[in-house]
């Protein structure tokens, strides 16, 4: 065996150099540029204020034509006749040794009072309802029971119902159940006076009479004084189409709250508005006099500042006349409470930019008591409505009005790991603005404790449409703005600490001018994120 020593030494030197150079290997690195979609959307007034009806046809500028129903009640809401059970029983004053088949032995009218507190009903027409009858037969032969309700009429025929019941006994009377449907029946609730005539001044009275005929095909049986012939009638689920009488001094009151969410995100600035009138319209489809009072109209803004609308019309009852006519000729009465700058602090009220609005009202029936002669009438189509209405050109002057929204960043560990390898990140926004309002964005990055870690405020402005050109196809002034929001390395390196991003938009219009908002105006936003990443392999 022979090894050439000089060569071995050279080889050893080569090996040493190789190992040293191998140990010096560094990571392989290169940059890549990525773009991913972020936000693309169109902001229109419909998106922001979905409770409004915007008129975009009448003129080239938006008109606010808002109508909101605050109250709409019908006959069913006025009255709820409680379920009522009336009972009629009869025991013979003397015993009869043998009653032959087919013998009628009882017939008497009884009056029953319906329990309707503070209401004096004289006549009603039932749209739906029923009477559940339960009758007891104590004698030893079957019988026919006939129940009649005087004053309860349909198509000119008084309600009468006959039904068969089996033989029973005093100890165990036979029981039969029947149901009478009252749909469409007219009920005269005045009752009878002592002469048997209609009691003109009567009310809430229901009459029944009961006659019993032993079965003509049955046997002769005795009747004792201890035998009790009994009928139970449960009137239930009554719904009324028409009512006449005196309906008392019922009061409807409520405080309605409605919100405009976007206004809750305003943190600074203010707006100036032209005059904005608000009408409160009350329509009365009942033949009942009412009084209506607006008790409260106030709003609260995002700074918890509350402004009330002050007016002589608020807090003072307004009389609402009854409707006229009847049935198909019924004509509702209408009353308008108009609020504007001439009789209220309306502009100041609106410029408070309240996001939460409260309106309180009270409606009182028969404000003068029973002086109407107990002749309130409600028809099937009678409704009492209260509406809030306003109509004005949509325009404003915005002075640094700043809207804020906070978005949580719930980034996965993988995304954070990727982001910290990002060397540059730019949010590229292209905006096409047809509002005569400019907007300036700024961003704040917060940690888990809400502390501001970084602020990005040096951002170009989304210009007002007035800086742009006229698009004849859309009949709108438009201005396209391209802005880039660069995120520094400091921001990117802290992405694992960032929990929330506060987006702030400051809105401005030309000073001293109320800018009308063009019909169909929109703000189109398209944005994407561009990253430059440093990729590396070990």
The answer to whether residue 267 forms part of the interface with other proteins (CB under 8 A) is no
Is the Cβ of residue 28 or residue 197 nearer to other proteins in the bound state? Answer: 28
Residue 428 CB, nearest approach to other proteins (Å): 8
Output the smallest distance, CB 3 to other proteins, in A. Answer: 6
Contacting other proteins within 281-310 (CB under 8 A): none
393-45-257-289 Cα dihedral, nearest 10 degrees: 40
The phi, psi pair for 166, rounded to 5°, reads -70, 170
Helix, strand, or coil (residue 228): coil
What's the closest the beta carbon of residue 57 comes to other proteins, in angstroms?
A: 26
Residue 73 binds other proteins (CB under 8 A): no
Backbone angles phi, psi at 176, to 5 degrees: -135, 140
Q: How far apart are CA 462 and CA 432, in angstroms?
A: 8
Residues numbered 126-165 forming contacts with other proteins, rule: CB under 8 A: none
* DSSP category for residue 114: -
Binding mask 424-453 for other proteins (x = CB under 8 A): ----x-x-----------------------
Query: Binding to other proteins by residue 43, rule CB under 8 A?
Result: yes
Q: Determine the 3-state secondary structure of 491 from DSSP.
A: helix
Do the Cβ atoms of 134 and 231 come closer than 8 Å? yes
Of the ranges 73-81, 116-124, 175-183, 526-534, which one interacts with other proteins (CB under 8 A)? 526-534
Residue 434 Cβ vs other proteins, minimum distance, rounded to whole Å: 16
CA within 13 Å, CB half, 460: 15
Smallest separation, CB 9 to other proteins (Å) = 11
Per CB under 8 A, the segment of 16-24, 174-182, 210-218, 375-383 that binds other proteins is 16-24
Using CB under 8 A, which residues numbered 494 to 513 contact other proteins? 503
CB 420 within 8 A of CB 535: no
Nearer to other proteins, 109 or 502 (CB): 502
What's the full length of the chain, in residues?
538
Cβ nearer to other proteins, comparing 28 with 155: 28
* Tokens encoding 534: 């440093």
Exactly one of 80, 371, 409, 482 binds other proteins (CB under 8 A); which one? 409
Instruction: Give the CA distances from residue 269 to residues 391, 398, 433, 501, 505, in Å, rounded to whole numbers and listed in that order.
Output: 25, 8, 21, 21, 11
User: Where does this chain touch other proteins (CB under 8 A) — which range of 7-15, 154-162, 345-353, 443-451?
Assistant: 7-15
- 50 burial via Cβ count (<10 Å: 0-12, 13-18, 19+): exposed
Quote the CA–CA distance of 475 and 479 in Å, as a whole number. Answer: 13
Whole-number Å distance between alpha carbons of 187 and 205: 9
CB nearer to other proteins: give 378 or 429: 429
Residues that bind other proteins (CB under 8 A): 1-4, 7-8, 11-12, 14-15, 18-19, 21-22, 24-41, 43, 47, 405, 407-412, 414-415, 428, 430, 503, 525-528, 530-531, 533, 537
């Amino acid at each position: 065996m022979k090894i050439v020593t000089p060569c071995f030494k050279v080889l050893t030197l080569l090996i040493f150099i190789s190992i040293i150079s191998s140990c010096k290997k560094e990571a392989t690195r290169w940059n890549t540029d990525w773009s991913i979609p972020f936000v693309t959307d169109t902001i229109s007034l419909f998106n922001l204020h979905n409770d409004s009806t915007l008129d975009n046809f009448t003129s080239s500028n938006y008109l606010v034509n808002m109508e909101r129903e605050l109250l709409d009640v019908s006959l069913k809401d006025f009255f709820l006749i409680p379920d009522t059970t009336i009972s009629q029983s009869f025991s013979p004053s003397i015993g009869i040794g043998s009653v032959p088949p087919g013998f009628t032995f009882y017939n008497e009218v009884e009056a029953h009072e319906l329990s309707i507190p503070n209401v004096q009903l004289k006549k009603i027409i039932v749209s739906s309802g029923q009477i559940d009858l339960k009758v007891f037969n104590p004698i030893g032969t079957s019988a026919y029971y006939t129940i009649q309700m005087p004053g309860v009429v349909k198509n000119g025929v008084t309600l009468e119902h006959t039904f068969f019941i089996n033989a029973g006994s005093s100890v165990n009377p036979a029981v039969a159940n029947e149901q009478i449907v009252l749909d469409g029946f007219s009920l005269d609730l005045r009752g009878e006076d002592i002469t048997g005539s209609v009691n003109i001044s009567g009310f809430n009275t229901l009459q029944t009479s009961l006659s019993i005929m032993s079965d003509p095909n049955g046997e002769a049986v005795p009747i004792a004084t201890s035998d009790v012939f009994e009928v139970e009638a449960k009137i239930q689920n009554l719904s009324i189409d028409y009512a006449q009488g005196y309906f008392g001094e019922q009061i409807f009151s409520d405080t309605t709250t409605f919100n405009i969410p976007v206004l809750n995100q305003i943190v600074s600035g203010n707006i100036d508005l032209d005059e904005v009138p608000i009408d409160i319209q009350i329509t009365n489809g009942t033949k009942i006099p009412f009084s209506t009072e607006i008790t409260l109209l106030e709003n609260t803004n995002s700074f918890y500042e509350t402004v009330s609308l002050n007016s002589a019309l608020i807090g003072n009852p307004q009389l609402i006349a009854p409707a006229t006519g009847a049935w198909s000729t019924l004509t509702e009465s209408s009353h308008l409470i108009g609020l504007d700058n001439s009789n209220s602090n309306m502009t100041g009220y609106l410029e408070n930019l309240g996001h939460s609005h409260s309106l309180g009202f009270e409606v009182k029936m028969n404000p003068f008591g029973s002086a109407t002669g107990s002749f309130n009438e409600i028809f099937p189509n009678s409704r009492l409505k209260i509406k809030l209405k306003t109509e004005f050109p949509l325009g404003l002057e915005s002075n640094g009005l700043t809207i804020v929204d906070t978005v949580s960043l719930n980034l996965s560990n993988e995304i954070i790991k990727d982001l910290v390898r990002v060397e540059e990140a730019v949010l590229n926004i292209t905006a096409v603005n047809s509002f005569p309002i400019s907007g300036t964005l700024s961003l704040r990055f917060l940690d888990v404790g809400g502390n501001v870690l970084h602020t990005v405020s040096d951002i170009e402005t989304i210009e007002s449409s007035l800086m742009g050109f006229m698009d004849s196809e859309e009949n709108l002034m438009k201005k396209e703005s391209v802005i880039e929001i660069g995120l520094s390395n400091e921001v990117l390196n802290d992405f694992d600490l960032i929990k929330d991003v506060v987006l702030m938009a400051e809105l401005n219009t030309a000073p001293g001018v109320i800018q009308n908002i063009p019909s169909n105006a929109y703000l189109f936003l398209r944005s994407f994120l561009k990253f430059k990443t440093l990729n590396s392999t070990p």
